[in-house]
């Protein structure tokens, strides 16, 4: 599965789940999931993206005149973390890690949005909310055919009505 497809899945899942609106106060780190221990399982990430509130603020500042929608959306996001790993040896271990992580997320009251189980592929999308405000989203994809594992965490106020604006602004 290619990364843009995963990001599109995030956007549509958020749109479907949170069509009620977002007017409650934001719990700053409620949607945060750290991926620090993944390197122990997979080795060094082939793609590692860490966009903090400050970096997203810069994006918002630089895009304010040309793309005010992107600027506004960036101001509501606390962080975006992406890790992409090669699956080299034991593909089953990578699939098992998705199951283990899923159990941990459910224990921490994350809500499953999407679950796909196909031969050699698992996809999980979870969200965490405070009231009607989505505080975070986690996407996990393991595809043994493409030999990739992708982990994404989006933290912040995610307004489903604006997700299409964001994907359009970023050409996704």
pLDDT tens-digit readout, 6-22:
444 444 444 333 332 33
Query: pLDDT by residue (tens digit) across 70-117?
Result: 777 777 888 888 999 998 777 787 888 888 889 999 999 999 999 999
CA dihedral 120, 149, 70, 57 (to 10 degrees): 160
CB 81, CB 128: distance < 8 Å: no
Specify the pLDDT at position 166.
60
Per-residue confidence (pLDDT) for residue 74, from 0 to 100 = 75
Could you give the CA distance from residue 134 to residue 75 in angstroms, rounded to a whole number?
15
Question: Which is higher by pLDDT, 37 or 49?
Answer: 49
Assigned token pair, 118: 């196909």
Number of domains in the chain: 1
What's this model's pTM, rounded to 2 decimal places? 0.73
Q: Is the pLDDT of residue 27 over 50?
A: no
Q: Which pLDDT does position 165 carry in this prediction?
A: 66
User: Range of 88's domain?
Assistant: 3-169
């Amino acid at each position: 599965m290619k990364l843009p497809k995963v990001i599109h899945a995030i956007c549509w899942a958020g749109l479907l789940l949170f069509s009620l609106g977002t007017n409650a106060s934001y719990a700053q780190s409620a949607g945060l999931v750290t991926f620090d221990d993944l390197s122990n399982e997979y080795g060094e990430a082939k793609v590692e993206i860490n966009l903090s509130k400050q970096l997203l603020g810069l994006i918002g500042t630089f895009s304010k005149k040309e793309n005010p929608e992107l600027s506004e959306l960036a101001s509501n996001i606390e962080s975006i973390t992406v890790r992409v790993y090669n699956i080299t040896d034991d593909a089953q271990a990578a699939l098992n890690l998705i199951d283990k992580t899923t159990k941990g997320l459910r224990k921490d009251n994350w809500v499953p949005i999407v679950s796909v189980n196909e031969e050699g592929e698992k996809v999980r999308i979870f969200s965490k909310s405070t009231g009607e405000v989505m505080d975070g989203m986690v996407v996990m994809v393991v595809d043994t055919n493409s030999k990739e594992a992708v982990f994404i965490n989006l933290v912040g106020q995610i307004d489903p009505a604006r997700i299409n604006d964001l994907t359009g602004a970023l050409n996704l």
